[in-house]
A and B are shown apart, each in its own frame.
Chain A
Amino acid sequence: MFVAVSHSDEKRITIYSSNYLSGFLKLKQVRLPKDAMLSNTFTLMDTSESQVFLFIENYGIESPFGNLYISDEKGTTFTLSMSKVIKGTAVDFEKISALDGTFMINRYNNDVGNSKLKSKQQVKEFDESDLISYESKKSKLQRPETL
């Protein structure tokens, strides 16, 4: 279980998690890279591969990008999986159901075109955004525990 806890500024949150082993009662703040510890919001993208994909809007709520983080098996420690993942009304993240551990992500590529995109409109004009098939490194692990 993931919980958004309001920061004192009431604009940002920190994220706590717990799992079934404690009856979901032992909530602990998740460990994220420093620039993601406080965010505007978060989206749980997938929990099916004994790991959690978490999308965090750490470029600000107006930005058309966010970062994707991947957890350990307990869902408490996260590392950066993919930066500058594109979000519109939903995050451009899709699990490929027929291929275990395979996800597709739409990501802005810094190396092509204007590197200072500021609005969603500019993203629409930027048709060369990469379509990346990202195979999780952990996909070959056996399925031990779900959160």
Chain B
Amino acid sequence: MIGTNGINWVSSDCGGNIRALNAGKKVQEFMFHPTQKTWALAASWTSCAEFKDEPCKIFKELFVTKNMGEEWTYITNYVYDFEWGQSKFAVDNAKKALKIPDERIFVTKDAYATGHQSATKNSTWSTKIDLFMSDDFFKTNQLLITSGNTLVKTP
């Protein structure tokens, strides 16, 4: 359940027990994994309070949890869109398709940005934003397509 002020709530027993997601940050966007029920990606914008000894920079960071929000791991920053690479349809039709790692993610990001991240990407497209993929939560990554600004995943 998406709450106010970036505080969100989760239940794993149909609402019998509800607890706050312990992100340590105000989470604005969530995306649960299509096949791993305790995995989720979450995006959060930085706030000026995080920059005590340096100029404030507002940008979007991406995190992953594998235990329903108990722990979060930072993935990357200056993110625009993100998607899980796994697909339930691909799992159900695994004989026909390449095996997709559950860890696969797609991210559009500005890899060279340093200041504030523009929040108005959708009104003006940008050649500085590229589409990347990673199978290990950005320990390594691969540029998939230059100027790839936004993505819409299909089943």
A interface residue numbers (CB < 8 A to B): 1-8, 10-13, 16, 19-25, 27, 41, 44, 47, 52, 75, 145-147
Does B42 count as interface, using CB distance less than 8 angstroms?
no
| Contact assessment for A10 and B127 in the assembled complex, using a CB-CB cutoff below 8 Å | yes
| Contact assessment for B97 and A23 in the assembled complex, using a CB-CB cutoff below 8 Å | yes
Chain A residues lying within 8 Å of B124, measured Cβ to Cβ, are 10-11
Does B131 count as interface, using CB distance less than 8 angstroms?
yes
Chain A residues lying within 8 Å of B129, measured Cβ to Cβ, are 6
| Contact assessment for A147 and B127 in the assembled complex, using a CB-CB cutoff below 8 Å | no
Does B4 count as interface, using CB distance less than 8 angstroms?
no
Does B98 count as interface, using CB distance less than 8 angstroms?
yes
In angstroms, Cα B127 to Cα A143, docked, is 38
Q: How many Cβ-Cβ contacts under 8 Å join chain A to chain B? A: 93
Chain B residues lying within 8 Å of A8, measured Cβ to Cβ, are 127
0 or 1 for each of B21-63: is its CB under 8 Å from A? (1 = yes)? 0000000000000000000000000000000000000000000
From the candidates A1, A7, A147, name the one contacting B83 in the complex (CB within 8 A).
Answer: A1
B interface residue numbers (CB < 8 A to A): 83, 85, 87, 89-90, 93, 96-100, 104, 106, 122, 124-127, 129, 131, 133, 144-155
Main secondary structure of the interface of A (DSSP, over half): loop
Q: Which B-chain residue is minimally distant from A40 (CB atoms)?
A: B125
In angstroms, Cα B132 to Cα A41, docked, is 21
In angstroms, Cα B127 to Cα A8, docked, is 7
From the candidates A21, A23, A27, name the one contacting B104 in the complex (CB within 8 A).
Answer: A23
| Contact assessment for A44 and B152 in the assembled complex, using a CB-CB cutoff below 8 Å | yes
Choose among A6, A25, A47, A52 the residue with the greatest number of B CB atoms under 10 Å from its CB: A6
Least distance between B76 CB and chain A CB atoms (Å): 18
In angstroms, Cα B11 to Cα A70, docked, is 40
From the candidates B93, B126, B151, name the one contacting A3 in the complex (CB within 8 A).
Answer: B151
Q: Contacts A4-B148, A5-B148; is A23 near B100 (CB within 8 Å)? A: yes
